[in-house]
């Protein structure tokens, strides 16, 4: 019986935890190995919109949808598209009044992760277990080697370990490559109380201000913070040879303002008001349509399987969908190897479609007249 198989999940992100939750609900005993020492070791990122056909579908399978509905933010779906003059070219604020009838409600990443963590048997999560490598053994088993010296032998190991997965080399020669896009993340803490003017402009959702082959991508978080991704089409080295001192917020803001010198004073407030942490980020991706030949005893989900840029909001959604599809396959097949094979075939197909969309969106964001082109795309896709 599959329930007696030793299943290891590498990574306690949304994908890994969703898989663990659904398998536990079905009577399995997977173990989640996480390199971080606790759930609060590092910043968990911004806000997510979970779609009906991916993230929400997975939460239904996990029996957590009602919990999600109670804590998500329907007003977070609001979106404005602007050019550098702060002209609003597209606006969807239909959900600012928080009607619970919408398809992509928002939830902060840390809130989602905590909900998933709370739903999983705590003894099944092994914190401080950073995977170094896995060795294939006979009969499809793998021996896992961790940085803390621990080892484990398992029947199935699932790589939910992100962009630079330690398990991906077991099935694929592909590695994450720089996408050509770099971001500088800045944060406006307590924006609702300290800077009501920027909150009024931003609204309760997101702003995409695009022009001159760069962008300001801002999102209101549930804790009253506005997270802003200053985005640039740039060589890989640019992020660290551009003269910006990321260790000194005041100096960094002066340099960042120069990069948006002729942008609207209203939009430049995103930089002027920044009062929190600053993070330089390169955007990496796997080739669109990434797939591999099935290998017994190992598989991947989420970014480990199909890393893509964030320009379709699909990362966490896809990871959770992968988790639910893999769990469903395992719980409905007598042969766990067949279950994994069938999951992979299905996942390759839908992930390739979304990766293609994400790549098209990324290219569009950094074209000439990007705001106008995005507006046309939004009207085509979302307006009857």
Residues placed in the known binding site for NADPH:
42
Q: How far is the CA of 249 from the CAs of 27, 221, 239, 255, in angstroms?
A: 50, 21, 15, 10
- Binding site residues, as ranges? 42, 49, 109, 303
> Which distant-in-sequence residues (6+ apart) come within 8 Å of 265 by Cβ?
none
> Across the strands, what pairs with 52?
none
- C-alpha torsion sign, points 145, 151, 153, 157: negative
> Which distant-in-sequence residues (6+ apart) come within 8 Å of 263 by Cβ?
84, 85, 209, 211, 216
> Which distant-in-sequence residues (6+ apart) come within 8 Å of 374 by Cβ?
81, 90, 208, 210, 364, 365
Query: Using a CB cutoff of 8 Å and minimum separation of 24, what contacts does 241-250 make?
Result: 244/184, 244/280, 246/184, 246/278, 246/279, 246/280, 249/274, 249/275, 249/278
Strand, helix or coil at 48? Answer: strand
Paired tokens of 196: 């009501």
- In the chain, where does DSSP find H-type helix? 14-25, 55-61, 65-71, 109-119, 191-194, 196-202, 238-241, 249-259, 265-272, 303-306, 315-332, 336-365, 370-382
- Binding site residues for FAD, as ranges? 49, 109, 303
Q: Tokens 């402009």: give the residue.
A: 201
């Amino acid at each position: 019986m599959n329930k007696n198989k030793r299943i290891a999940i590498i990574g306690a992100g949304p994908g890994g935890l969703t898989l663990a939750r659904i398998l536990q609900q079905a009577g399995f005993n997977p173990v989640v190995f996480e390199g971080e020492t606790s759930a609060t070791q590092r910043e968990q990122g911004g806000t997510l919109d979970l779609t009906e056909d991916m993230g929400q579908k997975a939460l239904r399978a996990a029996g957590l949808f009602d919990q999600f509905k109670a804590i998500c933010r329907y007003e977070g779906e609001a979106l404005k598209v602007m050019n550098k003059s702060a002209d609003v070219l597209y606006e969807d604020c239909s959900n600012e009044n928080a009607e619970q009838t919408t398809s992509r409600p928002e939830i902060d990443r840390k809130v989602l992760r905590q909900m998933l963590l709370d739903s999983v048997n705590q003894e099944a999560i092994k914190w401080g277990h950073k995977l170094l490598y896995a060795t294939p053994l006979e009969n499809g088993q793998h021996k896992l080697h961790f940085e803390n010296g621990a080892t484990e032998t398992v029947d199935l190991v699932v790589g939910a370990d992100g962009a630079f997965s330690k398990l991906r080399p077991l099935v694929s020669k592909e590695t994450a490559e720089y996408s050509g896009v770099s971001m500088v993340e800045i944060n406006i803490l307590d924006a609702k109380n300290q800077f009501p003017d920027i909150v009024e402009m931003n609204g309760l959702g997101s702003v995409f201000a695009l022009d001159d082959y760069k962008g300001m991508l801002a999102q209101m978080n549930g804790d009253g913070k506005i997270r802003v991704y200053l985005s640039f089409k740039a060589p890989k080295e640019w992020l660290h040879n551009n003269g910006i001192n990321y260790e000194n917020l005041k100096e960094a803001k002066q340099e960042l303002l120069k990069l948006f010198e002729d942008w609207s004073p209203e939009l430049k407030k995103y930089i002027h008001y920044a009062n929190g942490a600053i993070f330089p980020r390169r955007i990496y991706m796997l080739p669109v349509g990434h797939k591999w030949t099935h290998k017994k005893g190992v598989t991947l989900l989420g970014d480990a399987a199909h890393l893509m840029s964030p320009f379709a909001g699909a990362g966490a959604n896809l990871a959770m969908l992968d988790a639910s599809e893999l769990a469903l396959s395992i719980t409905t097949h007598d042969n766990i190897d067949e279950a994994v094979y069938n999951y992979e075939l299905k996942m390759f197909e839908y992930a390739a479609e979304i990766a293609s969309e994400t790549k098209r969106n990324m290219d569009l964001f950094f074209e000439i007249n990007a705001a106008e082109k995005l507006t046309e795309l939004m009207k085509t896709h979302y307006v009857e």
